[in-house]
Amino acid sequence: MSSKILIIEDEFAIREMLTFVLEQNGYSVIAKESYNDAQQALLHESPALIILDWMLPNMSGIQIAKKLKQSDSHKSTPIIMLTAKSEEDDKIQGLEVGADDYITKPFSPKELIARIKAVLRRTQPTATDDPIEIVGLRLDPISHRVTVDGKETALRSNGI
């Protein structure tokens, strides 16, 4: 199943370019030009990632990111901010409201795809074969082994 990506970008040419590049790379794309325009998609689709332009009419990308990260339905949806701003303060502001990464315009399609993959890898650990480790408890999706502080443990099944 291909990951669904929601784009919110008001510039037609960039929206088209993003859609083209993402579809070429096997993602399914929903492209919208504003937060209002994206409402339906946010309510009824579950995008794996949101690409959010910084400079948008009405509600800025920063305001949208803040709103999404405070919502129950989208607080864990990764966001990549798209920005023409390269000032360090702006980048920090973007990361502070909860954006997972940012891309400065102009960007190359290659960089975009690499960043999307990196963010998805980081935010969807179960989609990889890497072992998952939380406070000493380690789950290995390949061998199905569970260890606690390095010692192998059998998980009990229900009814046994």
Residues that bind Ca ion (CB under 5 A): 10, 53, 55
Return the number of the residue (29 or 51) whose C-beta is nearest Ca ion: 51
Q: How far is CA 54 from CA 33, 74, 139, 149, in A?
A: 12, 18, 38, 44
Provide, rounded to whole angstroms, the least separation between the CB of residue 45 and Ca ion: 22
d(CA 34, CA 60): 9
Q: Which of 95, 99, 93, 85 is nearest to 52 (CA)?
A: 99
How do the residues of the chain divide into helix, strand and coil, expressed in percent and rounded to 5? 40, 25, 40
Provide, rounded to whole angstroms, the least separation between the CB of residue 55 and Ca ion: 4
- Which residue's C-beta sits nearest to Ca ion? 55
DSSP for 97-143 reads TT-SEEEESS--HHHHHHHHHHHHHHH-GGGSSS-EEETTEEEETTT
Return the number of the residue (8 or 120) whose C-beta is nearest Ca ion: 8
Provide, rounded to whole angstroms, the least separation between the CB of residue 33 and Ca ion: 9
Return the number of the residue (18 or 120) whose C-beta is nearest Ca ion: 18
Return the number of the residue (64 or 116) whose C-beta is nearest Ca ion: 64
Provide, rounded to whole angstroms, the least separation between the CB of residue 11 and Ca ion: 5
Provide, rounded to whole angstroms, the least separation between the CB of residue 81 and Ca ion: 11
Q: What are phi and psi of 83, to 5 degrees?
A: -140, 145
Return the number of the residue (91 or 138) whose C-beta is nearest Ca ion: 91
